[in-house]
Each structure stands twice: as C-alpha cells, then as structure tokens.
Amino acid sequence: MAAPEARLVELLREPAERELVDDRFRIEREAGIGGMGIVYRAVDESSGAVVALKVLRKTDAASRRRFGHEVQALERLSHPAIVRYVAHGIVDDDQPYLAMEWVEGETLSGRLEGGPLSVASALSLALRVASALRAAHALGIIHRDIKPGNVLLPEGDLERAKVADFGLSRFLGAPHATTSGAAFGTPGYAAPEQVRGGDIDGRADLFSLGCLLFRCLTNTEAFAGAEVLTVIAKLVLEEPPRVKSIRNDVPDALDSLIARLLCKDAKGRPASADEVISALENLQKESPEESSPIRKKIHLKKYWVATAAAMALAAGAFLMGRRPAPVQAEKTKATLVTDLVASATCRPDAALDYREGLQALREATPERAYKAFERAMGKDPACPEVLLRVLQTGRWMRPVAEQREHLHRVLVHREALSERDRVLLDSLAATIASEPADFEAASRILNDGASRFPDDVELVHLAANAKVLLVKTVQQIQPVLASARRAVELDPAYADAWMVLGWTYERTGQVGEEANAYAHCAQTSPTSVECLASRVVLLRRRGLCQEAESLTRQWIARDPNSDRSFRELSALVAAGGAPRESIEETMHMRWSHLPDARRDVIRLHDRAKLAAWTGDFREAIALGEELERRAADDAHIEAHLRGLRIRLDALLETGKADEAGRLAEDFLRRKIAWTNSPLSGERTETGASYYEPNLLGIAVAHGRLPTAEWRTMAGTWEHQAQTTSSLMKMNPFETWTLRWGSAIGGTQDDAAKEAMKAMPAFPTDDPILPTLIAFHAGLLQAYEGRLRLAAGDASRAASLLDDAARSCQGTDQPFLNTRAHLWLGQAHEKLGHTREACEAYGVVMRRWGAATPASISAAEAAKRSRALGCVPL
C-alpha cells in the first residue's frame, strides 16, 4: 500500500483522531474493500443522512480516470432507479472520494443464489433497470457493466432496485478511456462489439440487460464457461439457448424479446430502452399476477449448448452454465503412455531418457520429448523403442529426407518392437514413406490398433488424432469425438489428449467446449506451450487479436526460446496496427531462435511478407525473386511457392498482370516435377493444394490459359483435392469456393452467376464440416465473400468478409487480409452502410495508400471513399 493511501486509511479508520472527512462526512465503519477502493458507511453531517463513502485506493492514471467517469455520470444523473449522488471531493494527498446514498439490502447476485425469479418478478426488475438505462442514455451515458452484482435491492425489494457502479461508463462521442484487459466490462454480460473494442451505443447496455434477464429467469448465464476465454468465445460466436427451452412457463413474447436483446449484431436489438420498456409493460399487462408473495419453486430443464453440431453430438457436450466436472479415470486398468518400457536390451541410461520423453509426450511438450529421445538415441543407437520415438516426435521438426532415412533405421528393428509399437511404426510409415503422405492409411492402422488394445491410452488418443482432420461430416466425427473423450477418461492427466479433444470440438464448431478442453490441457500440464498455442490459435481464428497477443506473450514468458511464439506475435502485433519497426523487431527475435539450416530462408520470407504488409511492393518482389533463387534445387513444391506467392500478389497489386499471368503459367507447367508433401520443414500457411486454383485463376484471367483448358485443369484439381488420402483432402464446398473465388474479380457478375450455379448442394441430413487448414488461413471466408459480392448477395458477403477482415492473420496473409477490407467496403456500400464502408476503405488506404509502386486496391478504395464523402484520413 502506498504511503499516502496508508495515511488516508489510517485517517478514516481512526475517527477519534479525525472525525470528519472533508469536514462533512463522519465515518462509522468500513463496509467493504474492492479492487479500486474502500467503501465506508458514513453520516453526512450536513443532512444527517447515511451515505456510502467510496475512497479510491489505486493511484494509477487509469484507475483515477475510471473513478472520474463514475463521479461525472452520477453527478449528472437523478433517477429513482440509479444510486443517488451526494458529493465528491479530494481528501489528503490527492485521494478522491465519492459519496452516494446508502442502500441497505442485498445485490441481485446475492438474491439469485436462492434460485431464479418468477416471471412477474423478473419483469418488474427488468422494467426498473431499463428505466435507469433510459435516463442514462438520454444524457449520452452508456453504463457498460450491467450485471447482477451492480443491481442493488433496497431491503430486498425488486421493485425498488437501483443500478450502481458507473465506473466503466462512457459518454457517447468520448474517446475510448479504458485499457485492454478490464476494458470491455464483465465477460458474459458485455456485448460482442464491446468485447472487440469497437464503437458502442446504448444497445450495448440492452444486450447486458438481456443477459441479466436470462440469468434472472434461468439462474444461469447465457454465456457460461470455466474461464474467461471460454466465455468470450461463446459470447462472440455461439448463440445462447432460448429461455423457453429451459423454462416453459416463460411467455413466448418474453422469450422473443430476450432473444432480440441478445442479438450479436446491435442492429438486430431493440433500438432504444424506450422500446424495451414498452415491450415489458405490455408483457406485464398480459402476465398473471403472482398469487402469493412467497417465491414459487421453479423447475428448470437441463439444457445443452445449442449449436447445430452440438445437437447432433449432444452426448459429448458439456452442461452449459457449470464448470465441466473433472473426468474420472475408468476403473479398468488403463495402459498409460508412461507405463510403456524400453526393451531389456536397451542401456539403462537410455531407458531413463526414454521414460522422460514419454512423460513429456503425456504433458503435451513435444519438443522436450524429442530432445529426450534424441539423448537416449545418442546413448543407445540400437534401442528400438527409442528409435521409434525419435521418428514419431521428429515428424514436424526434421526435413522429409531425414525422416525417411531414419524410418529405414527403425524398420530394421521392427521385429524387436512390441505388437502395439508396431502399430505406431506402421502408421508413421504410411505418412512418411508415401508421396503424398497417406493419412487415411495411417488412420486405419491406428483405429485397428485401438480396437485391438482398447485400454492403451496412447493408441486410443492417436486414433482420434489421426481421424480428426480426415472426417468431413457431423455424423463421421461422432466416433472421433467418442474416441477423444475416451482417451481423457482413461487418463485424465493426458494433456495431449485434451488438446486433441479441443481440435475435435473445433471441427464441430463447439467453440466453448474447445476452449474448455484447452483449459483442461493447461491445468493438467502447466508447463505445456502446446496448450497455450492451441488457445492462441483459437483466439486468432475468431478475430480476438488483443486477447491472442496477450496469451502469446505468456507463451513467450514460459518458453522464451520458441520461434513459433515470436511468429505468432509478429502476425498479431501487425494485426493490431503496430508500426513496421515493432513488427520487424518481433521477427528478429524469431530469427534468433531458428536453427541455422532454416534461418536464412525464413528471414527472407518474413521480410517479404512484412514489405507486402506495409506496401513496399518493390522490396517484396525483390525478396520473392531471391526466395525463388534459393529454392532452385529444392524438390518440395512449397519451397518454390514461398517466393512465387509474394511476387504474384505484388505484381497484381501494382498493375503488372501480364507478368503475373506468365509466372503463374510457368509454375503450373513445371509443378509436376516437385513433391507435394505436407511434412517438409517450414510449410506455407495454406499448402500447395490450396494455392493451385489461385494460380489457375491468375493464368486464365490474364490470357495465359484458355478458358477450356482452365476448366479441365480446375476440374482435375477439384477431383484430386476431394479424393486425396492426405490432410489436404477437401469437401466439395471448399473446392468450389477456392476454384471459383480465385477465378473471378469483384465485379464479374456473369462469372459469379456461373459459379453460383455450380455451387454444390449442402446435405441437410449430415452437415459438412470445414477443413481446418483453409479455415485458419481465412481463405474460405474471403473467397466465398468475394463470390457472394459479385453475385449480388451483399448481405451474406458482408458477414463473410467481416470475418476475413477481422482475422488476426496480419503478416501471414498481407494481400488477402487487405483485399478482404476492400471487398468488405464494397459489400457495405451496396447495403447502404456508408460508415462501415468508409471504415473498411480507410484500412486499405492507411495500409497501402503510400505504397511503392502504387496499389490498385488503395486507389480503388480512395476513389470509392471520395464518392461516398468519407472523412479524409
């Protein structure tokens, strides 16, 4: 406690020495201590009234600013449903205080501990809170933290409820004044636009009122989760269940009103508190009065997360509104991965390292496992189990040629391995020896092994892991989910299995359950960076860039030598608008942690993407050319794509379409000579399979490929992409999106209409799941949005392009992200949303307005911005 604050507390707690505060308020007792201040019960000597005296404890600028907001708001407000302002001032050593009316009673959150409210009581309370909001909004004050804890009940009377704590309030038109972290209010009650840090108005408070009503009627939260990440994910992405599905005595009109209040798009909510009050008053007239003041016992139905996928997978969902119960290990004796032993012929010191590696696998720390197995191999190069594990953990850390060479070494010792270890070896051989890697064969081998060894936790886990990326529909993923759940039931401390369970939920769109699984992973293995990394990916995927950056910094603090974490950080700080120097500094930190063999090429690639992100297209093209020269003798197609992708996009962006078409055609003619394995060291963000239709689109659009030949080649690609046995296998909708989205421009209506006619039908009995790799890169949203825009469906286009534009890809996708903003502006323009269009065009102009050579996208954005009368940058 700071010295001035200590003196103040002493002053207030010793009335015999100093009886009055600011010569007016006599302290009676301490009422409570909060995060920002101490609240005292005091008597106002000027009136004799009892008051609540709140004294700021924190001295930082942000806390003082927040305290000042509360003072300003309460000083202007005078309403029976809002805690009454009495006075404010400064006490000793510049410590501010606020005096308010004293409310004897309880908070709404305390009241709800006894159970939900009746419908009539909930309506009375909601009317009271809505009337307070109407008064605040009339003065341009947004509360921003409506929740049960901030609603006071004088003597427990719901009809006299008062709204308190305007510390997070904001005056309309004022600049953002809160900082990240606590900036967005209370998770689970703050509106989605508030969580994202965007502009808000009174409808944000109405969303919070909807959350409050939901809690009052169901005694659980509309967006519940075990941790903040889970709550935010559900808040932003998942629709809450209807109140009527939980409690059948709720009138249909009230159920509909709450659903409107909880609309994620502010435009879909009631326009004002007046509209809400009118609806509530009508409901009060229609609802019967309670026959007794005694609270009726209300029976609520259990309810499950209401997403389309969860309905099909209800058996695997967590009960919403409660923290998932710890999974108990099955009573049957399971074989844990740490129960496995090395052969008796292995050296004892190698066997110790082997056990350490197995423990690291269980804890989801694969790099530590790889190092332990390598140490063991150094001590005993003939230990078969050690050789097998080096092969397993080195898959994503070693070049394919080295993996294949090591595979031959392991195969020599195959007969010395146990039967279950041969299952693992055969599955690895299918992915390493085949070209392309045969993940379907690997999945079949592991699935068969898990059937033969049903209590072998690792095999059950690996079977789910192998299958999760291969299944394409909701029905197909049900057994995968069951297998992933069984792995954590057999071994609740298996962090890696929790992570795979999260990936499985990701495929189904159950974001809350995905976040919960990652939370279990982190709890089980606090040292695992993989658990953190999965959570970062979840946040990036959902456009929560600030939260992802914060978590990435935790990742770096936990493992400061990881190049992956600095790669994430560079993309995230770029997405957050950091200057080029800051982005480049994070890249330097990444480069310093790379192995020598990879450092030079990755440095070039990162510098090229950064140049593109900041509009230095001349440098981006030069670096792309250097990358292509470095790849001249490389057998992997992805090595050749690194530089080509940068060059093509930069050439198109600077008006050199003919040269881009020539390069695309040349690449397509030569690509058959290279391998297309997804196992090569530094992979491109999307894989060669995902970029091929883009090359075809560039070639045909710029006269380097006849339309008939394009149709043939694109059709061949579609068939191969849908039937391959590798992880690049796509569903028909994805191949349609990438084929046609790459081949049209934003205004080619005829081509877009042809594309829409070619769109595959969506099966209703067994919905299709997205492929993770394309989904992460934002390709599907961007290209489908582009197609919808060109075909005239501006509303759907705006939704898709908003997702793509808000993604946290940053320097990972410099061209796609910036163009998505241009397309988003065009969609909003067609919808008549001038402000949103201007904002989207503004992003393009800020990023590329001074590009060298000049940017076509920035020029288009500037032209449209002028035509709309947007405020100049």
Q: What is the pLDDT of residues 713-722, one digit of tens each?
A: 988 888 887 7
Residue with tokens 């502009």: 199
Q: Strand, helix or coil at 127?
A: helix
Q: Is residue 297 over pLDDT 70?
A: no
Start-end of CATH 1.10.510.10 domains in the chain: 105-288
| Structure confidence at residue 332 (pLDDT) | 54
Distance CA 73, CA 175 (A): 16
Choose among 99, 110, 106: nearest CA to 41.
Answer: 99
Contact 8, 27 (CB under 8 A): no
Q: Strand, helix or coil at 36?
A: coil
Encode pLDDT of 52-88 as tens digits.
988 887 666 777 877 888 888 898 888 999 999 999 9
Q: Is residue 572 over pLDDT 60?
A: yes
CA distances, 138 to each of 44, 186, 330, 792 (Å): 30, 23, 59, 39
Of the candidate ranges 35-49, 567-581, 698-712, the one whose mean pLDDT is the lowest: 35-49
Encode pLDDT of 820-847 as tens digits.
999 999 999 999 999 999 999 999 999 9
Q: Is residue 747 over pLDDT 60?
A: no
Residue ranges with strand state E in 2-69: 20-21, 25-33, 37-44, 50-56
Q: Strand, helix or coil at 219?
A: coil
Expressed in percent and rounded to 5, the helix, strand and coil fractions of the chain are 60, 5, 35
φ and ψ of 706, to 5 deg: -60, 150
> What fold is seen in the domain 3-101?
Phosphorylase Kinase; domain 1 (3.30.200)
| Structure confidence at residue 148 (pLDDT) | 94
State the pTM of this model. Answer: 0.65
| Structure confidence at residue 288 (pLDDT) | 55
CA distances, 602 to each of 95, 219, 578, 607, 609 (Å): 53, 53, 21, 8, 11
Residue 430, CB-side half-sphere exposure with 13 Å CA sphere: 19
Distance CA 156, CA 125 (A): 12
| Structure confidence at residue 93 (pLDDT) | 64
Who contacts 692 (Cβ-Cβ below 8 Å, separation ≥6)? 668, 671, 717
One of 60, 94, 145, 616 is an active-site residue; which one? Answer: 145
Q: Which residue has the higher pLDDT, 10 or 482?
A: 482
Who contacts 186 (Cβ-Cβ below 8 Å, separation ≥6)? 145, 147
Count other C-beta atoms under 10 Å from residue 379's C-beta.
Answer: 18
Contact 300, 218 (CB under 8 A): yes
| Structure confidence at residue 535 (pLDDT) | 87
Q: Is residue 850 over pLDDT 60?
A: yes
Helix (H) or strand (E) holding 280: helix 273-286
Who contacts 371 (Cβ-Cβ below 8 Å, separation ≥6)? none
Residue with tokens 């081998």: 445
Distance CA 671, CA 640 (A): 9
| Structure confidence at residue 34 (pLDDT) | 61
| Structure confidence at residue 243 (pLDDT) | 95
| Structure confidence at residue 318 (pLDDT) | 23
| Mean predicted confidence (pLDDT) in 777-781 | 71
| Structure confidence at residue 848 (pLDDT) | 96
Given pLDDT bands bounded at 50, 70 and 90, which one contains residue 226?
A: low
| Structure confidence at residue 686 (pLDDT) | 45
Q: Is residue 855 over pLDDT 60?
A: yes
Distance CA 467, CA 316 (A): 17
Plot region of 528 (φ>0 → left; ψ -120 to 50 → alpha; else → beta): beta
- The maximal CA–CA distance of the chain, rounded, in angstroms, is 96
| Structure confidence at residue 559 (pLDDT) | 83
Kindly state the DSSP code that residue 243 receives in the 8-state scheme.
Answer: G
Start-end of CATH 3.30.200.20 domains in the chain: 3-101
Helix (H) or strand (E) holding 162: strand 162-163
The crossing angle, in degrees rounded to 10, of helices 637-653 and 617-630 is: 160
Q: Is residue 860 over pLDDT 90?
A: yes
Q: Is residue 3 over pLDDT 50?
A: no
Residue with tokens 């009138």: 251
| Mean predicted confidence (pLDDT) in 240-262 | 94
Residue ranges with strand state E in 442-579: none
Q: Is residue 44 over pLDDT 70?
A: yes
Residue with tokens 């391998």: 675
The CATH number given to 730-873 is 1.25.40
Residue 604, CB-side half-sphere exposure with 13 Å CA sphere: 21
The CATH class that applies to domain 105-288 reads mainly alpha
Q: Is residue 322 over pLDDT 50?
A: no
Q: Is residue 651 over pLDDT 70?
A: yes
Distance CA 412, CA 414 (A): 6
| Structure confidence at residue 547 (pLDDT) | 84
Residue with tokens 């944000």: 204
Of the candidate ranges 248-262, 568-582, 740-754, 767-781, the one whose mean pLDDT is the lowest: 767-781
Distance CA 636, CA 642 (A): 11
Give one DSSP letter per residue of 741-794, joined into a string: HTT--TT-HHHHHHHHHHPPPPPSSSPBPPPHHHHHHTHHHHHHHHHHHHHT-H
Distance CA 387, CA 373 (A): 8
The crossing angle, in degrees rounded to 10, of helices 511-524 and 228-237 is: 170
Q: Strand, helix or coil at 675?
A: strand
Q: Is residue 14 over pLDDT 50?
A: no
| Structure confidence at residue 684 (pLDDT) | 42
Helix (H) or strand (E) holding 90: strand 85-91
Contact 524, 516 (CB under 8 A): no
| Structure confidence at residue 385 (pLDDT) | 97
Instruction: Clarify whether 145 is annotated catalytic.
Output: yes
Given pLDDT bands bounded at 50, 70 and 90, which one contains residue 36?
A: low
| Structure confidence at residue 576 (pLDDT) | 86
Encode pLDDT of 587-641 as tens digits.
999 999 888 888 999 999 999 999 999 999 999 999 999 999 999 988 888 889 9
- Mean confidence (pLDDT) of the chain: 83
Distance CA 491, CA 327 (A): 9
φ and ψ of 10, to 5 deg: -60, -40
Q: Which residue has the higher pLDDT, 858 or 511?
A: 858
Q: Strand, helix or coil at 274?
A: helix
| Structure confidence at residue 543 (pLDDT) | 79
| Structure confidence at residue 764 (pLDDT) | 56
Q: Which residue has the higher pLDDT, 90 or 336?
A: 336
| Structure confidence at residue 771 (pLDDT) | 56
Q: Strand, helix or coil at 138?
A: helix
Encode pLDDT of 299-310 as tens digits.
343 322 222 222
Percent of all residues in the chain with a pLDDT value above 90, rounded to a whole number: 45
Q: Which residue has the higher pLDDT, 566 or 226?
A: 566
Q: Is residue 439 over pLDDT 50?
A: yes
Count other C-beta atoms under 10 Å from residue 10's C-beta.
Answer: 11
Plot region of 155 (φ>0 → left; ψ -120 to 50 → alpha; else → beta): left
Start-end of CATH 1.25.40 domains in the chain: 730-873
Residues 600-638 as b/e (b if ≥16 CB within 10 A, e otherwise) read: ebbbbbbbbbbbbbbbbbebbbbbbebbbebbeeeebbb
Distance CA 497, CA 489 (A): 10
Q: Is residue 1 over pLDDT 70?
A: no
Q: Is residue 748 over pLDDT 60?
A: no
CA distances, 870 to each of 176, 306, 333, 829, 859 (Å): 22, 41, 68, 12, 14
Encode pLDDT of 137-158 as tens digits.
999 999 999 999 999 999 889 9
**Token pair for 869:** 């009368």
